[in-house]
């Protein structure tokens, strides 16, 4: 089914095209720099706990030095974790969703680089990621 273009639409289009005034360039009106909006994502699916913590540590430091201000960590929900089957392992801390933020919170040198991160994302059982906001690099 084809929709016909109305005479009014054609008239409006012709008026628009034939106008001598130019549209505002909205991109030039933005009052921010690229660094203020920069964000990176790190997907930790399939990493071991040690590897994920090491990668997260290096990634945070690298992003901080590049003035990235937001990092999205994708950890997964832990719903397929084999650690849930082992009663001798901590279900909460063996899953990346819990262990990576815990590692970050326990690392004082990393905490100096971090402005905040969303604890609600970590507590939400339906969310397999969390956001972290970095301070500005002054170097």
Mean of per-residue pLDDT scores for the chain: 79
Task: Return the CA Rg of the chain.
Answer: 24
pLDDT surpassing 80 at residue 109: yes
- The angle formed by the CA atoms of residues 61, 136 and 113, to the nearest 5 degrees, is 40
CATH top class, domain 37-134: alpha beta
pLDDT tens digits, residue range 74-98? 988 765 555 555 544 444 445 788 8
Strands 39-43 and 70-74, bridge-based pairing? parallel
Residue 32 has pLDDT above 50, yes or no: no
The side-by-side arrangement of strands in the sheet containing 70-74 is 39-43, 70-74, 129-134, 114-117
């Amino acid at each position: 089914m084809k929709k016909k273009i109305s005479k009014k639409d054609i008239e409006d289009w012709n008026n628009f095209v034939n106008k001598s005034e130019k549209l505002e360039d909205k991109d030039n009106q933005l009052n921010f720099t690229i660094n203020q909006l920069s964000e990176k994502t790190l997907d930790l699916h399939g990493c071991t706990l040690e590897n994920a913590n090491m990668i997260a540590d290096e990634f945070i430091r690298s992003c901080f030095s590049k003035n990235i201000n937001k990092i999205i960590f994708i950890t997964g929900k832990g719903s397929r974790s084999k650690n849930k089957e082992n009663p001798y392992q901590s279900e909460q801390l063996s899953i990346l969703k819990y262990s990576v933020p815990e590692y970050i919170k326990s690392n004082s040198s990393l905490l100096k680089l971090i402005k905040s991160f969303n604890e609600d994302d970590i507590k939400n059982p339906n969310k397999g990621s969390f956001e972290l906001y970095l301070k500005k690099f002054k170097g």
